[in-house]
């Protein structure tokens, strides 16, 4: 097959997750349920924080934007996946593929650094609580938020530009259920070493967010261990337990997929991991942060009681 320039590729074909109609129907119903819970959970979390003035603190400011990012990057992937599960043709245009890739990278990278900002917020709250209102000012919160989105904008732009310059001659079938970096690079018949280097460089830079998180929690755990009372230790740990759980779930799958060369790409393992972090994790985060958070649960109860009183 003759090679063609990527700008001349009319479309790609997504391989999808399953071949049999029964399996596709089952996955469609499962993913539809997950997506509905994701939308309701994250939108509900945003609305809840906006409605309660007592939740207008730096921690919930970041949690609002975490819910927004989860809602966004889930919506970049899941609706298209649902469409493909009930469609006989899984064709996506070249421009549509790059657009999906661009926004997916943007939101995922932004979430990495937002989680780092949340870790720093917990560090200040636990390690230097008396200075918390001064350090975590509104200005710093917006600076940290901008610092979360900027790497995502930069990396998504650079990666997509370099991919757009590739040539493809092997096939136009993407062995994945959405347009991701590794399966696209696997289709190229030209040297992708520059693309792989850029991807690994971006991953290495993104690991800075993990370094910030780890450093914050080393200080947090050190401070907690120096607390004399058991009740004090428990209370201090409970303020960061939800965030630590969310970080562990998110980074375990991200590192599994992206910190490896193209040659080690495995369709089955990578698809399972991708389904987990692109479809399942955005649903889990609202549950993690609400079920383990007394303030959120009490706010929900207050709103429910208020609605019952108004209804009567």
93 has which bridge partners?
A: 11
The arithmetic mean of pLDDT across residues 120-144, rounded, is 93
In this predicted structure, which of 142-151, 164-173, 272-281, 303-312 has the lowest mean pLDDT?
303-312
The answer on pLDDT for 8 being more than 70 is no
The pLDDT score that the predictor gives to residue 121 is 94
Residues 6+ apart with CB under 8 A from 38: 70, 71, 74, 78, 279, 282, 283, 286
The arithmetic mean of pLDDT across residues 199-222, rounded, is 90
Domains of the chain, by residue range, sit at 4-311
Q: What is the DSSP letter of 278?
A: I
The pLDDT score that the predictor gives to residue 16 is 78
Which among 183, 149, 147 has a CA at the least distance from the CA of 163?
183
Biggest CA-to-CA distance, the chain: 73
The answer on pLDDT for 288 being more than 60 is yes
Looking at 3.10.180.10, 3.40.50.10190, 3.40.367.20, 1.20.1070.10, the CATH number of the domain 4-311 comes to: 1.20.1070.10
The pLDDT score that the predictor gives to residue 3 is 43
Question: CA-to-CA distance for 86 and 272, rounded, in angstroms?
Answer: 20
The pLDDT score that the predictor gives to residue 278 is 85
Is 81 within 8 Å of 178 (Cβ atoms)?
yes
Question: CA-to-CA distance for 47 and 170, rounded, in angstroms?
Answer: 48
| pTM for this predicted structure | 0.87
Q: What is the DSSP letter of 280?
A: I
If one compares 156 and 240, the residue with the highest pLDDT of the two is 156
- What are 44-82's pLDDT values in tens digits? 889 888 888 888 899 989 999 999 999 998 999 999 999
Question: CA-to-CA distance for 224 and 106, rounded, in angstroms?
Answer: 35
C-alpha distances (whole Å) from 30 to each of 25, 50, 82, 286, 293 are 9, 30, 10, 18, 27
């Amino acid at each position: 097959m003759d090679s063609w320039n990527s700008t001349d590729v009319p479309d790609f074909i997504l391989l999808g997750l399953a071949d049999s109609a029964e399996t596709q129907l089952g996955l469609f119903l499962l993913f539809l349920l997950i997506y509905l819970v994701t939308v309701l959970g994250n939108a509900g979390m945003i609305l809840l924080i906006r409605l309660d003035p007592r939740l207008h603190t730096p921690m919930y400011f970041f949690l609002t934007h975490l819910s927004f990012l989860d809602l966004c990057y889930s919506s970049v992937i899941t609706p298209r996946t649902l469409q493909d599960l009930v469609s006989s043709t899984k064709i996506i245009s070249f421009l549509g593929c790059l657009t999906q890739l661009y926004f997916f990278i943007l939101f995922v990278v932004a979430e990495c650094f937002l989680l780092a900002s949340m870790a720093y917020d917990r560090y200040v709250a636990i390690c230097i609580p008396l200075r918390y209102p001064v350090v975590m000012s509104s200005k710093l919160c917006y600076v940290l938020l901008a610092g979360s989105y900027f790497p995502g904008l930069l990396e998504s732009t650079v990666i997509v530009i370099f991919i757009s310059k590739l040539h493809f001659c092997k096939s136009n079938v993407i062995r994945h259920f959405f347009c991701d970096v590794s399966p696209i690079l696997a289709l190229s018949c030209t040297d992708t070493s520059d693309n792989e280097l850029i991807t690994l460089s971006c991953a290495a830079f993104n690991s800075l967010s993990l370094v910030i998180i780890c450093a914050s929690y080393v200080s947090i755990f050190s401070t907690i261990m120096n607390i004399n009372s058991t009740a004090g230790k428990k209370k201090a740990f409970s303020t960061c337990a939800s965030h630590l759980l969310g970080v562990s779930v998110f980074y375990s799958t991200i590192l599994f997929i992206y910190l490896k060369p193209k040659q080690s790409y495995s369709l089955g393992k990578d698809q399972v991991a991708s389904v987990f972090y692109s479809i399942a994790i955005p649903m889990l985060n609202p549950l993690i942060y609400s079920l383990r958070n007394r303030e959120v649960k009490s706010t929900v109860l207050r709103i429910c009681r208020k609605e019952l009183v108004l209804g009567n």
